[in-house]
Amino acid sequence: MSEASFYEWLERIDVELAETARAAGCGCGGVLHRATYPCKARGGLRELGAGYDRRLSFCCARRECRQRRTPPSVRFLGRRVYLGAVVVLVAAMRAGPTPRRVATLVDLLGVSRRTLERWRRWWHTTFAESVFWKAAAGRFARPPARPHLPQSLLERFAGDERERLVATLRFLGPITTRTAGCAMA
């Protein structure tokens, strides 16, 4: 599977998640209308196209409600501007961001060393101390080791590298939206 087809696979999953959210409707009983919004999707391939600069979302049709419902996503990790897969994989590097790796990531993704360090800190502190993680970690027979997040989380899922990454991104879905009540900045 090429990188482009992998990202297309993630986009199809997001469309399925969006259709499920739309079918459920609004909590007030209203119909949901499409209300996608732009986002800065850094870290993707240039050939991904226009779909990766839009976040799928909905808005209640009832005038007295108008609540936004943004479904979980496997492409975006909350409000981060880099794609979720990039944030997970780069932070999962076991040996850490060596000068050579940082130079490669700067060339490929335009990410700075400070951003890489911020992502690793986020995984080990903000994420690891979140209400979401404290509840979700208990779902595993052997919880992922906090000092090795997100690598230890990726290792808990079955399949090849891409399948484990997608399973991890699905697992993290609830933190990708404020609508779910557990989004993390």
Its sign, for the CA torsion 20, 26, 30, 32, is negative
**Cα 62 to Cα 129: distance, rounded to the nearest angstrom:** 37
pLDDT for position 182: 40
Which is more confident, 80 or 26? 26
Phi and psi angles of residue 154, each rounded to the nearest 5 degrees, phi first:
-55, -40
Cis (ω within 30 of 0) for the bond into 147? no
Question: Domain ranges in the chain?
Answer: 1-76, 84-175
Ranges 77-81, 97-101, 113-117, 172-176, most confident: 172-176
pTM of the predicted structure, to 2 decimals: 0.79
- Per-residue pLDDT tens for 65-87? 989 888 998 988 877 777 888 88
